[in-house]
Amino acid sequence: MKKKTALILGATGLVGKALLQQLLDSDDYAVKVLARRSSGISHPNLEEHLVDFDRLPEWARLIQGEVLFIAMGTTRRKAGSKEAQYKVDYTYPYEVAKKAASAGFKHCVLVSSIGANARSRLFYLRIKGELEEALKGLHFPRLTILRPSLLTGEREERRWMEELAAVWMPGLIRIFPGLSSRRPIPGSVVARAMRKAVEGKDTDAFKVFEGAEIFHLAGDAGEK
């Protein structure tokens, strides 16, 4: 059976690294990774390219395939400034997606954020919303957006506030069931949902999943 060619942005992050491993484990994909640093993974189905995202014309020819997975993002603290964060969270993924759309990619799957809104007063939610709106304008045959709440899992850097929130949020949700959409979600579950969005029977041109919908899509509705 012919393998699908998938291109991943953000393969060294929490969700992207889990997605990369899952795609390689399935043996159904030929996987391309565009990244600033190596994932550290070696596999016969993996083609990894270390690139300078500020110099896209030099490597735009590498943007070939059928499915684009975008799990790219950072924090202002890690990026060093709002401007640098904007590049990672919006500019780079949008520019690659624009090339992918013109190259004939059939499906784009984006990890966004719960609360994403291009008109939000919160910088992080605003840029996530802006990226969603921009991708809609590229007219991929299929566009799937996942808006997870707090992501949990092992990261290379410690994020104390997220770790604390992951501890007390389940208790709050038990007291206030209306907060269930804010339920923390493992990065590996989001990755599995990204894969299921491509492999499932749903063929909607545009679909958004958030909160419990992501667990259901991943087949982990009962996972805590």
What pLDDT, on the 0 to 100 scale, is given for residue 179?
Answer: 46
**pLDDT-based confidence at 180, cuts 50/70/90?**
low
170 within domain boundaries: yes
Q: What whole-number distance in Å separates Cα of residue 47 and Cα of residue 106?
A: 20
18 within domain boundaries: yes
Print the domain residue range for 90.
4-218
**pLDDT-based confidence at 222, cuts 50/70/90?**
very low
Q: How many domains is the chain partitioned into structurally?
A: 1
Residue 76 buriedness (CB in 10 A; 0-12 / 13-18 / 19+): middle
Residue 77 has pLDDT above 70, yes or no: yes
- Output the domain CATH number for residue 121: 3.40.50.720
CA 6 to chain CA mean position, Å = 13
Amino acid at 157: E
Q: What whole-number distance in Å separates Cα of residue 212 and Cα of residue 118?
A: 23
What lies within 8 Å, CB to CB, of 49 at 6+ separation is 32, 33, 34, 35, 59, 62
Query: Which listed residue (124, 196, 201, 207) is catalytic?
Result: 124
223 within domain boundaries: no
Active site residue 86: no
pLDDT digits (tens, 9 = 90+) for 102-153: 999 999 999 999 999 999 999 999 999 999 999 999 999 999 999 998 888 6
What lies within 8 Å, CB to CB, of 140 at 6+ separation is 68, 97, 100, 101, 105, 106, 107, 108
Provide the token pair at 73.
Answer: 């993002």
Point out which residues pair with 206 in neighbouring strands. Answer: 143
Q: What is the pTM of this model?
A: 0.87
Provide the token pair at 170.
Answer: 């389940």
Q: What is the Cα gyration radius of the chain?
A: 17
Provide the token pair at 145.
Answer: 């957006």
Active site residue 128: yes
224 within domain boundaries: no
Helix (H) or strand (E) holding 66: none
User: Mean pLDDT across the chain, nearest whole number?
Assistant: 87
What pLDDT, on the 0 to 100 scale, is given for residue 183?
Answer: 67
What lies within 8 Å, CB to CB, of 213 at 6+ separation is none
What pLDDT, on the 0 to 100 scale, is given for residue 181?
Answer: 56
Query: Which listed residue (4, 87, 128, 196) is catalytic?
Result: 128
125 within domain boundaries: yes
24 within domain boundaries: yes
